[in-house]
């Protein structure tokens, strides 16, 4: 039985409503997320947690991975000489060679299956404590500033 004229009107009307609702939801998401990716100047340091808890987790289970809230590559939080370090997941000198933690090897492993240490990876600034005088964060709060990258202590090709 072919669709009647009234049936077609209902289908077209329902389709138009679904389309308009989709546009409205997309607009709300655009507004809620700020519309565009943040620029480095308007990004604030990212709060990760409290220093004692983060240290305990790393000591018990190895480095912690954090995704970037800005859509960039994430980073590893690890201990180096007893200090927290935030390590870029991309091996220096490459654009897409990701370093992953391999617990059985107790090492970072790059895209060529080469073992790396924390000293082989670029790092971001780690801030312990308050960001400024108005900050009401605890004194052992841990932040990472993804705007401030430092080169790896060990440079490719040896030396360091």
Query: What's the CA gap between 100 and 71, in Å, rounded?
Result: 18
Q: Residue 18's pLDDT is what?
A: 86
Q: Residue 33's pLDDT is what?
A: 60
| CATH among 3.30.1360.170, 3.40.33.10, 2.102.10.10, 3.40.80.10 for 40-150 | 2.102.10.10
Q: Give burial (CB, 10 Å; 0-12/13-18/19+) of 97.
A: middle
The residues with which 100 forms a beta bridge, in sequence order, are 109
Per-residue pLDDT of the chain (160 residues; tens, 9 = 90+): 666 777 788 888 888 888 888 888 887 777 666 555 545 556 889 999 999 999 999 999 999 999 999 888 899 999 999 999 999 999 999 989 999 999 999 999 999 999 999 999 999 999 999 888 777 878 899 999 999 999 999 765 554 4
What phi, psi does 54 have (nearest 5°)? Answer: -65, -45
Q: Residue 160's pLDDT is what?
A: 47
Q: Residue 36's pLDDT is what?
A: 52
Q: Tokens standing for 23?
A: 């546009």
Domain spans of the chain? 1-36, 40-150
Q: Residue 3's pLDDT is what?
A: 65
């Amino acid at each position: 039985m072919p669709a009647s004229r009234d049936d077609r009107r209902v289908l077209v009307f329902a389709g138009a409503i679904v389309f308009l609702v989709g546009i409205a939801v997309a607009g709300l998401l655009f507004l809620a997320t700020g519309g565009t990716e943040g620029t480095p100047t308007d990004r604030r340091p990212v709060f990760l947690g409290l220093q004692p808890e983060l240290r305990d987790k790393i000591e018990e289970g190895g480095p912690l991975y954090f995704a970037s809230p800005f859509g960039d590559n994430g980073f590893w939080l690890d201990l180096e000489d007893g200090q927290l370090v935030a390590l870029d997941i991309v091996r220096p000198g490459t654009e897409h060679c990701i370093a992953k933690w391999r617990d059985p090897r107790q090492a970072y492993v790059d895209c060529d299956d080469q073992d790396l240490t924390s000293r082989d990876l670029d790092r971001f600034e780690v801030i312990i404590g308050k960001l400024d005088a108005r900050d009401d964060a605890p004194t052992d709060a841990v932040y990472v500033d993804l705007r401030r990258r430092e080169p790896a202590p060990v440079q490719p090709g040896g030396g360091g």
